Amino acid sequence: MKPVFEVTKGMREMTSHYCPGCTHGISHRLVMEVLDERGQLGDAIGVSPVGCSITAHQYMNVDMIEASHGRAPATASAIKRVHPNAPVFTYQGDGDLASIGMGELIHAAGRGEKICTFFVNNAIYGMTGGQMAPTTLLGQKATTCVDGRTIEQAGSPMRICELLETIPGAVYVERVSLHNPAGVRTAKKAIHRAFEVQEKGLGYAFVEFLSTCPTNWGMTPVKALDWLKENMIPYYPVKQFKCPEEVK
Amino acid sequence: MAEKKLMKGNEAFAQAAINAGCRFYFGYPITPQNEVPEYMSRELKKVGGSFIQAESELASINMAYGAAAAGGRVMISSSSPGIALMQEGFSAAAVTQAPMVAINVMRSGPGIGGIQPAQADYFQVTRGGGNGDYHIIVYAPKSIQEACEMIYKAFEVADEYRNPVMICADGMLGQMMEPVAIPDPIPAMTEEEIFEAKPWALTGHKNKRERNAIKSVFLQQEVLEDFNLNVLAPKYEKAMRELPEAELIDVEGAEVVFVAYGTTSRVVAEAMDLLADEGIKCGLIRLKTLWPFPEYAFDAIGESTKNVIAVELSMGQMIQDVKLAINGKLPVDLINKVGGVLLDPEEIAERTKKIMEVR
């Protein structure tokens, strides 16, 4: 009998350290499923920097390296130069990518590095316990803005896809949301396209996953999915910003 | 060895790296090392290598980290404040055992400082500017020829020890021209050779081995303790046994023994001639490695020696290691210049005579 579902060989068999309801599990699996389907688990090299997902290599069955805080796109750029045919990706959170790592992100995109970045945006610092991130929404509470973020105190949240859209080297930019099954299916297609862009040597490919952090948001997992839909999507529109003809 | 050519220091350094099989270089402009990235941007592509002008020194060392982890032979270069920016990366490269070569063309400090030659990075390079228990291996060339030979060898040492190796030059070596014969070129490893020769490297597992994970974070203290004590410590002990190097000149029977490294040691050698003319017997311990510090060389100091003098272009940094090596047996004095001002042989000779009078 033909199986209707198989667990991807891209995920190693073990219990994850992520909190209940965290969407890292979904985005980990999606990236690995795509590499598995593309037959590239044996070739892929991943970079996970400081943040909740720094030990993503515990779960992802591909060669991986932990990067210093924010530096993953620089590290990945060089890995790609050593192994030009390997699918190289970074998997970064918003504290890492949008704050300390903004320089490396922008310049990897600017050089049009042939790598993929998967950006987990949950609007908060997770690993360090819920501090305000550049992506924390106005009014959203965090341990470094307990009354909610204000423009006066911290400015407005950064929209990363919109920023990258202006950079010619970032040829594929898409924001997806993991709050419902339709969003998850869209996300998987986006990951496929990102690796396709890299394989065709078209330039830098970037996929943002709107994600949840029930623990630091102080919500149940189900409530967190609703909060994402009601609060994050209006500010961070789910949208394909740029896509080369070759992979449409 | 090729024929001698007249070359500028920074360009010769870059060519020595290419000849040693270096194919990856990630540079950021800072004076007085700019000819290194300029040369690499022109020449690496001719040998199938890859150059990136990094957006910062932080990016530069984290690129080197990626290339090293991927099994590539990689070099970076910078000058003092730029090396300071890289320190987190050196710590990360040490704990992940990523082999890389770095050139520090030292300038004066602190702060942004000046662009003249200095030796005020001794602490920065030997004490680990980055966090945690680690060492980088540091060579200190006195000439462009020696720098090229040290760079060539540094890639082998980096691979053998799986640790960053630094060449600590100064602005004078980087900017001057000297005749140099660069060691013969060797081929770079192919990706297939990397897969076989560096089983720890990121190559993709090719469904032939378990996936590799290059780790910098150790959240369980016992695991990190075990790694530090059983992986790093034996490696550094081996380095301390096998790597220290010094050149000893006329130390036996000397009344005064100088300790110096880099271009300063050449000025000291001239001062020694001046002092010899006045009948003062002088010796020199020239450090070729700054870490591991060549303590063994100090065993050559005999009963004839009354004064040990550290000569350096800093407020007195190397002198601390000299004092540790002398261990209270003799007075240790300092002859120095700071802020990018250089010593000349006459001044060293005069100050030496004054020190001898006081003592």
CATH number of the domain to which B280 belongs: 3.40.50.920
Angle at B58 between CA B54 and CA B62, to 5 degrees: 80
User: What chain A residue is nearest to B202 in terms of C-alpha separation?
Assistant: A63
pLDDT average, residue stretch A42-56? 96
Are A66 and B96 in contact (CB < 8 Å)? Answer: yes
**Residue-wise pLDDT tens digits, A147-204:** 999 999 999 999 999 999 999 999 999 999 999 999 999 999 999 999 999 999 999 9
Q: Which two tokens stand for residue B118?
A: 């200095």
Closest-CA residue in chain A for B192?
A: A83
Crossing angle for the helix pair A72-82 and A102-110, nearest 10 degrees?
40
Question: In the sheet that B137-139 helps form, which strands lie side by side, from edge to edge?
Answer: B50-53, B24-27, B74-78, B100-106, B164-170, B137-139, B289-291
Question: What total number of domains does chain A contain?
Answer: 1
Do B67 and B175 fall within a single domain? yes
Least confident of A2-6, A52-56, A180-184: A2-6
DSSP-assigned letter for residue A57: G
- Is A21's pLDDT higher than 70? yes
Q: Chain B residues contacting A, CB < 8 Å?
A: 24, 26, 50, 52, 54-56, 58-60, 62-67, 69-72, 74, 88-89, 92, 96, 191, 194, 202-208, 211-217
Question: Is B237 within a domain?
Answer: no
CA angle B191, B194, B200 (to 5 degrees): 130
Boundary-marking domain end, from B177, B192, B207? B192
The boundaries of the domain holding residue B266 are 246-358
Whether residue B298 sits in one domain with residue B186: no
| A2 domain-assigned | no
Subunit contact A66:B215, Cβ cutoff 8 A: yes
Residue A73 lies in a domain: yes
- State whether residue A42 sits within 8 Å of chain B by CB: yes
Rounded to a whole number of angstroms, the distance from the CA of B172 to the nearest CA of chain A is 31
CA pair distance B41, B357, nearest whole angstrom: 54
Examine residue B239 and state whether it is found in any structural domain, yes or no.
no
| A223 lies in some domain | yes
Report yes or no: A196 at the B interface, CB cutoff 8 Å: no
Same domain membership, residue B135 and residue B15: yes
Q: What angle do helix axes B144-161 and B233-242 make, rounded to 10 degrees?
A: 140
Q: Considering the domain boundaries, does residue A122 fall inside one?
A: yes
Which among A38, A48, A79 is the top mutation candidate for probing chain B, defined by the most B β-carbons within 10 Å of its own β-carbon? Answer: A79
Do residues B252 and B156 both lie within one domain?
no
Domain membership of residue B182 (yes or no) is: yes
Q: How far is CA B114 from CA A184, B128, B171, B315, in A?
A: 55, 22, 11, 15
State the 10-residue block means of pLDDT for chain B, 359 residues long.
Answer: 91 98 98 98 98 98 98 98 98 98 97 96 94 97 98 98 97 97 97 97 97 96 97 98 98 98 98 97 98 98 97 98 98 97 98 92
Distance CA B188, CA A174 (A): 38
Instruction: Tell me whether residues B214 and A41 touch, CB distance under 8 A.
Output: no
How many C-beta atoms surround the C-beta of residue A239 within 10 A?
A: 14
Q: Do B203 and A63 touch (CB under 8 A)?
A: yes
Question: What are the pLDDT digits (tens) for A108-155?
Answer: 999 999 999 999 999 999 999 999 999 999 999 999 999 999 999 999
Instruction: For residue B68, give the H/E element and its range.
Output: helix B57-69
Helix (H, G, I), strand (E, B) or coil at A67: strand
Residues B152, B74, single domain; the answer is yes
| Residue corresponding to tokens 């998987």 | A188
A38 touches chain B (CB under 8 A): no
Task: List b or e across B274-303, with b for residues whose CB sees 16 or more CB atoms inside 10 angstroms.
Answer: bbeeeebbbbbbbbbbbbbbbbebbeebee
DSSP state of B101: E
Euclidean distance between CA atoms B343 and A116, whole angstroms? 53
> How far out from the chain centre does Cα B18 lie?
18
- C-alpha distances (whole Å) from B117 to each of B17, B81, B337 are 22, 13, 11
Q: Give the integer Cα–Cα distance in Å for A121 and A133.
A: 10
- Per the CB < 8 A criterion, the answer to whether B282 and B307 are in contact is no
Q: For residue A84, say if its preceding peptide bond is cis, omega within 30 degrees of 0.
A: no
Asked if residue A242 belongs to a domain, the reply is: yes
Which residue, of B150, B166, B192, is where some domain finishes?
B192
- A83 at B interface, C-beta within 8 A: yes
As for how many domains chain B has, the answer is 2
Handedness of CA B290, B292, B297, B298 (dihedral sign): positive
B211 and A63: CB-CB below 8 Å? yes
Report how many Cβ contacts below 8 Å link chain A to chain B: 135
Distance from CA of B215 to the nearest CA of A (A): 6
What's B185's domain CATH number? 3.40.50.970
Q: Do B191 and A111 touch (CB under 8 A)?
A: no
Neighbouring CB atoms inside 10 A of B351's CB total 18
Q: What is the mean pLDDT of chain A?
A: 97
Determine the structural domain holding residue A52 and report its residue range.
31-247
Q: Which CATH number is A69's domain given?
A: 3.40.50.970
Same domain, B177 and B318: no
